[in-house]
Amino acid sequence: MRQGIWIWTILMLGCATAEHREPAKNAPAVVRENTRFDNDAFRVQVSDMNHDGAPDVWKYYAEKSTLDGPQEFSLVRKELDLNFDGRIDRVMYYNSRENLSREEVDADFDGFIDRVQYYDRAILVKSEICSAECCRSPIDAPEKSSRTPNRVLFFSKGVLTREEVDSQCRGRVESISIFNNKKELIQTGYDTNGDESIDSWVKY
């Protein structure tokens, strides 16, 4: 098994370092020694999108569970440095079928999460939006780390259906907005007395 892995590694490195090979126009460059085996069941592939010699895309692969046959790997995670400053700005997680299941985004490039999005079969179902005051959770922090979003958006088949707002980051919903399948706001509920219960509704 290990011999097969190293043969595969040599072939990959040979392709990545072949002399006199011009990269395709607008295609990502493959950083030298782009494939690293941390052990027999895990590998990391690194790419250089802007051809500056520094990696900015990391793809993590885990070994699939197979009874027989050759060793297979599936994508479990992808990290991106979107502004090429050497710091991760977006982390994407994939399920066993390589469908996107969750992603964390640092939209303002300050090293902290601004948005966490959840997917079902690669379709957006929920988005947590954080302000600098509410969420100081570093990108790629454990999923259960302290995080209190200002707004939580819910989607059905990719269409916004509901928005919950907690403007003061207290972990209490202050208002709920409901949308129809045309993305039109149809009603909003408010917690008018601060008892953590929506007690007043406005219909449009």
User: What per-residue confidence (pLDDT) applies to 59?
Assistant: 92
CATH of the domain at 160: 3.90.930.1
- Same domain for 74 and 107, yes or no, is no
181 versus 20: the higher-pLDDT residue is: 181
End position of a domain, from candidates 31, 54, 86: 86
User: The tokens 């502004």 sit on which residue?
Assistant: 83
pLDDT in tens, 16-48: 333 333 434 445 444 433 444 445 556 888 999
Q: Among residues of the chain, what percentage have pLDDT more than 90?
A: 44
- Same domain for 61 and 110, yes or no, is no
pLDDT in tens, 131-162: 877 766 777 666 555 668 899 999 999 899 99
Residue 196 binned pLDDT confidence (cut-offs 50, 70, 90): confident
* Helix (H/G/I), strand (E/B), else coil: 16: helix
Task: Tell me how far CA of residue 62 lies from CA of 16, 28, 73, 128, 169, in angstroms.
Answer: 21, 23, 5, 28, 37
- Same domain for 142 and 79, yes or no, is no
User: What per-residue confidence (pLDDT) applies to 62?
Assistant: 86
- Same domain for 29 and 73, yes or no, is yes
Domain holding 113, by residue range, is: 94-204
Task: Tell me how far CA of residue 25 lies from CA of 29, 33, 182, in angstroms.
Answer: 10, 21, 41
The whole-number average pLDDT for the span 186-200 is 92
- Same domain for 11 and 38, yes or no, is yes
The whole-number average pLDDT for the span 173-198 is 93
End position of a domain, from candidates 47, 67, 86: 86
Number of structural domains the chain divides into:
2
- Same domain for 203 and 116, yes or no, is yes
* Helix (H/G/I), strand (E/B), else coil: 99: coil
**Quick one: DSSP state of residue 138?**
B
15's tokens: 């392709």
Q: State which H helix or E strand residue 5 sits in.
A: helix 2-16
- Backbone phi and psi for residue 38, each to the nearest 5 degrees, phi listed first: -80, -30
Q: Is the pLDDT of residue 113 over 70?
A: yes
- Same domain for 73 and 102, yes or no, is no
- Same domain for 105 and 187, yes or no, is yes
End position of a domain, from candidates 64, 86, 108: 86
In this structure, of 31-35, 52-56, 97-101, 191-195, the range with the lowest mean pLDDT score is 31-35
- Same domain for 104 and 49, yes or no, is no
